[in-house]
Structure 1
Amino acid sequence: MQLSAVDLNCDMGEGFGRWSIADADDVSIMGLISSANIATGFHAGDPSLMDRTVKLAMQHGVGVGAHPGYRDLQGFGRRKIAGSAEEIVNDVIYQVGALREFARKHGTNLQHVKPHGALYMEIAVSADLSRGFVDFMRRAAPDAYIFCMGQSLTYQIAVEMGQPVVREFYADRDYDASGSIVFARQVGRTDPARVAEKVVRACREGKVRTVDGADIDIEFESICFHSDTPGCVEMAVAIRDALIASGVRIAPVSEIVRRAETVSRRAI
């Protein structure tokens, strides 16, 4: 795999009232990315913050995505909450509906939905949750992308059911031998140069080094970093600069997916 263009996404709007979780303000980050995953109120976010963040994304030409999580403000959505598949999917529906209305208010459509934190990891390994989530998307937002890991059940079921889907590469997370990210509730400061080198290698060679020291293959259309990672702005700038220097453009996710589909058809 050798990419000439890639989407760059970040979790945004992750505050509540006067409190903020992010290491940098959304204005500093929004000009560096092409897709925004906007918190929808359960792990972070509130109506006014959702409104401001959608408006900011529109001003920068950034794709608007809903970022639903477990109902866990205290734990920032990084603790698993027990519940039936139906209950959890209903929580997702509630949150996506809220963000979609703010997108409509500002004259845009919902580009994508990306579950947050512990919910993202749980949906990735649960066939019931993945199927319920994808079924909702097929009914309510058939043209919106699902953002997920390429090795997840979510990806497999989205492809099977015909829902647009985007695979992510995590710049500021480690990988295990299965190709899954190593989930962490708290992450320390990263070296921007090392993260940028990791991202460029993934784009140019389709490889990433795991926590065990082995190289595995990785395929993706979007790169993710987190606004609560310490030093996130410096990291994002380093990623963008390194990608551009290596001939990889940051582009809207719709362009990336169309390009990938064209390449796939030519290969058949």
Structure 2
Amino acid sequence: MLNASEYSRYSRHLLLDDFDEHAQRRLNNAKVTLFGVGGLGCQVASALAAAGVGEMVLIDDDTIEISNLPRQWLFTEKDIGQKKAEVARTRLLAMQSACTFHCITNFNDIAARDAHLTTSPLIIDCTDSFTSRLAINALAVTHSVPLISAAASGFIATATAFNPEISGPCYACPEYNSEQSLTCFEQGIFSPVVAIAGQLQAMMALSYLSGIRNPEWGSLHHFNGQNLLMRQFNIQKNPDCPTCSKIHRSEDHAHSL
């Protein structure tokens, strides 16, 4: 049960319809693995820590550069040259001392990464390249862990949730267009768009982890920062997907034996 301090801290959550003490406690007991602590990751990690998520794994081997500062709001000029994951942990602990943060600053440390994936009920992809998103999606499918992925470039933000435990699509199912596969380094980025994409991820994650609402698995949420238009598209499952079709076909074969 929540103590008096926790009741005071999360009182605005507890006033929400369908959100009660049990929902907040589920957040306090939740664990999330977060890939990337850049523009998206700073938003997501801050929102989850402030909301009371109890444990986070921060995976990022990048260092802070001056060009990061307009959109990576956990960092300051004094942090330039330091590891993003380590600086983020320090700032997040100052915000939420009850949360446990694990830092992995070497993407090649597969043992450390996979050890956390086996105990994490949710993966959040906050990386900024198409290649890394495909790799993280493959991990989610292999470990059968739900994945929330987002992207932001130019004035466009997108966010989607996938669940390998159901028969829907994965991130690799659709054929993404060239605009979505560009990074902010290639196309530029309007800083508030990153915040919107990250907060969409955070909203889906908190709703799922608290148990108040599941994300709309396989739905692409698309925000245009030039006209402030939000649209939603359903992603179709690709029966020949190079990532998830092999898993499902092997499972179907096992069921038939």
TM-score higher than 0.5? no
Q: TM-score range by the shorter chain?
A: 0.3 to 0.5
Max Rg structure = 2
Structure-2-length-normalised TM-score = 0.32
Choose between structure 1 and 2 for higher RCO, CA contacts under 8 A separated by at least 6 residues: 1
